[in-house]
Structure 1
């Protein structure tokens, strides 16, 4: 199973780079035209020094970003909203795997009042459209994939725990939510609130609808340090472009970001189960000691918190073609009667 998953990822990478070659002749002039991003959310990366493996346990993503200097040929790209006639348009293709787990991994039985085992494997196609003059952008993302055993989240986590020789083997994936298709449309708009040479404040509002996540968000992100203007596009934020004579690069960028946001959540497939699948049968233990026995029951429905707040912060360093960022996210509980959680993110960018 793991070999098949690795082969699928290799094929995807080959397709992404072939796409980059096809579009190379249409790229906009000046600076890099392509960027590859390796993205890892993991609750082990937390700044409290207490690495965990629970709640939102992991989210890995591989993404290729590319500029397009011609009218898009793909029908979906034609209808995606742009930020004006002179907008900087950056498209992306990517794949992501996500997983949630309870706080105790070794039991094979269902653990109530905790996060359930849940995983998803999705593809993404996005447009980031920036208006550098009016200081705003529009971001549209189409997400498609599957949740449940078909996402291979359980296989991935068990494989990783074997690799690191961890004795806390996750044995409860038999209780995960069942297979269900995922299709979502996410839209985000950002607008500059204030800026000067070393400071930018950006407000955002977003909407999500589909079979994966339904909700809305509003927030503010602050950028502080030495950086290129935010609304010149992500390529300028995550790489240091060539200088005007093409013989050198600008000095490195180093800045700090902090985002505070609130969400109104109506539905989350990974927390409540898919729309097109029944609740799974889960293993529970009745009785105690020698009289204990395993029985199966329909998993009780979990109630989400409709109002969720989170804060993310961390440094970003960009030099030449490379960039690395490290962020921490603190989230309020997303399920009723369940704990809040923390996770970290490490992201590496390479531009060309």
Structure 2
């Protein structure tokens, strides 16, 4: 064998071995258990109004093979260097008014509302050009089939909290079918210690219609944001230190044309839920939904190897006029393999 051929073969073997080693040192699956609840608020206390609870379980996996499923073909990718993380999720959410003792809820407050749905998503990130696309398809139902009433009543009974009495007047059964697409791009970074990211999203369907924009500041000890979705919450072997501890601040603004969980679904929107009163002195106004909502999320993420944990506290301006600023929290657990 000539010397030149030997060198070429040796180089090919080294590249192949390196690529294999990198593949072996990359987690390809991630499970997330996710809970939104104002019970976890470190400030502000338990409010139990508006968006009061969200429980979610996700399974994510990396697949960079050519897409065969037609949905995967139309989901946007992040170029030739795209790391494609697909996900399947199931989630239950519930909304309640401020006063849950009343049997007939106030007409100018949040309604009793629940939803149960599944999603299929794609996080496509490009570590070289530092941008990403995120797309999600949602399918489910709102109203009694969501089992939100049974869940909240059972949990309040379990923890000895007051019983919510107005679920007889929850928003009616309707179809939830939505699609959303979001893009993010790095605006600035300082080594691996600080990142500034901008993003925007559009969503449409029978559940939500509107758009949002945000900025994200991350700082601390962390993997680069656009190395892939899983790398934000786990670090495999072969990458030196496997611990991450970083903080996030994310101010955002959202403009919503319609929200089925507040205003009712497309098929049953006109069906009156709260009965009229016979009291002539009762001139309680109807609910007025705010189309523009501002929010800010403050979070901390800690991970070691394949295990991660995050806590996020959210402040949000009223989604219904006169209901006041809402505070809620999220705790998420991550396990990669």
Q: Taking structure 1 as the reference length, what is the TM-score of the superposition?
A: 0.85
Q: Which residue does 2:147 correspond to in 1?
A: 152
Verify: 1:236 aligned to 2:227, yes or no: no
Verify: 1:169 aligned to 2:163, yes or no: yes
Give the Å deviation of 1:338.
2.6
Segments of structure 2 that go 5 or more residues without pairing to the other structure are 1-22
* Match among 278, 295, 310 for residue 325 of structure 1: 310
Please show how residues 217-256 of structure 1 align to structure 2 within 5 Å. Answer: 217-243=212-238, 250-256=241-247
Give the Å deviation of 1:150.
0.8
Q: CA RMSD in A?
A: 2.0
Q: 1:300 to 1:62 in 2, by over 3 A?
A: farther
Task: Give the stretch that moved more between structures: 145-154 or 48-57.
Answer: 48-57
Question: In structure 1, what is the Cα distance between the partners aligned to 2:150 and 2:275?
Answer: 19
Verify: 1:282 aligned to 2:274, yes or no: yes
Q: Deviations over 1:25-81 (max 9, x none)?
A: xxx653110000001111222121512211110011100000013223322111111
Question: In structure 1, what is the Cα distance between the partners aligned to 2:45 and 2:323?
Answer: 19
Q: Which residue does 1:183 correspond to in 2?
A: 177
* Match among 59, 62, 65 for residue 67 of structure 1: 62
Verify: 1:122 aligned to 2:117, yes or no: yes
Secondary structure in 2 aligned to 1:216? Answer: strand
Q: Which residue does 1:340 correspond to in 2?
A: 325
Q: Deviations over 1:164-207 (max 9, x none)?
A: 122x1011101110000000011110000101120000000110
Q: Which residue does 2:40 correspond to in 1?
A: 45
Question: In structure 2, what is the Cα distance between the partners aligned to 1:300 and 1:97?
Answer: 30
Secondary structure in 1 aligned to 2:39? Answer: coil
Q: Deviations over 1:102-160 (max 9, x none)?
A: 11112211223211100110100000000111110000000110001111111110111
Q: Which residue does 1:55 correspond to in 2?
A: 50
Question: In structure 2, what is the Cα distance between the partners aligned to 1:210 and 1:325?
Answer: 30
Question: In structure 2, what is the Cα distance between the partners aligned to 1:49 and 1:287?
Answer: 35
* Match among 206, 218, 227 for residue 211 of structure 1: 206
Secondary structure in 1 aligned to 2:290? Answer: coil
Question: In structure 2, what is the Cα distance between the partners aligned to 1:30 and 1:209?
Answer: 38
* Match among 81, 84, 97 for residue 89 of structure 1: 84
Q: Taking structure 2 as the reference length, what is the TM-score of the superposition?
A: 0.88
Secondary structure in 2 aligned to 1:156? Answer: helix
Give the Å deviation of 1:218.
0.9
Q: Which has the larger radius of gyration?
A: 2
Paired residues, number: 312
Contact 2:38 2:45 in 1 (8 A): no
Secondary structure in 2 aligned to 1:109? Answer: coil
Give the Å deviation of 1:301.
5.8
Secondary structure in 2 aligned to 1:116? Answer: coil
Please show how residues 186-201 of structure 1 align to structure 2 within 5 Å. Answer: 186-197=180-191, 198-201=193-196
